[in-house]
Amino acid sequence: MIIKEVQDEIVDEFSMFDDWMQRYEYIIDLGKSLPLIDEQYKTEDNIINGCQSKVWVHAEQNGDKVVFTADSDAILTKGIIAILIRTFSNQKAADILEANTDFIDKIGLKEHLSPTRANGLVSMIKKIKMYALAFNAKN
């Protein structure tokens, strides 16, 4: 599935909920389904700077795709990174770099986060794009 299709699917899922309490619960559920990052990748190199909670993102190349794993010590943040992992994992580095993230605005996520969490979200996206840039440069 291409990135835009995944993003559209996420927007559709969020549109099923009437209020933000339901959306928060859904984000938390998404975090619970996030495959756990291997403990060896919970390092300073993989930590996201700018988040109030700890978030680790690890990437490796598998053929022409970038595969991400992640974890967080906060349940809501874990759900947020789960959305990003679902969107960008198993995609080509060039496609990740070209992808926009307006789906985040469409689901209203940024406006319903505290300023520090919103900054953390931006930092998570930057880290994912930096990994993609590094893998893209290798190819």
Report which DSSP code applies to 3.
Answer: H
Check: CB of residue 76 under 8 Å from CB of residue 27: yes
Max Cα distance, the chain (Å): 45
Among residues 59, 38, 71, the alpha carbon closest in space to that of 138 is found at 59
> In angstroms, how far is the first alpha carbon of the chain from the final one?
22
User: For position 36, what pLDDT does the model report?
Assistant: 81
pTM of the predicted protein model? 0.95
The secondary structure of 42-95 as a DSSP string is -SGGGBPTT-SS-EEEEEEEETTEEEEEEEESSHHHHHHHHHHHHHHTTEEHHH
Beta bridge partners, 72, equal 55
What tens digit of pLDDT does each residue of 59-106 get?
Answer: 999 999 999 999 999 999 999 999 999 999 999 999 999 999 999 999
The CA R_g of the chain, rounded to the nearest whole Å, is 14
Active site positions, annotated = 51
| Average pLDDT of the residues of the chain | 93
What tens digit of pLDDT does each residue of 21-42 get?
Answer: 999 999 999 999 998 899 999 9
Tell me the percentage of the chain whose pLDDT exceeds 90: 82
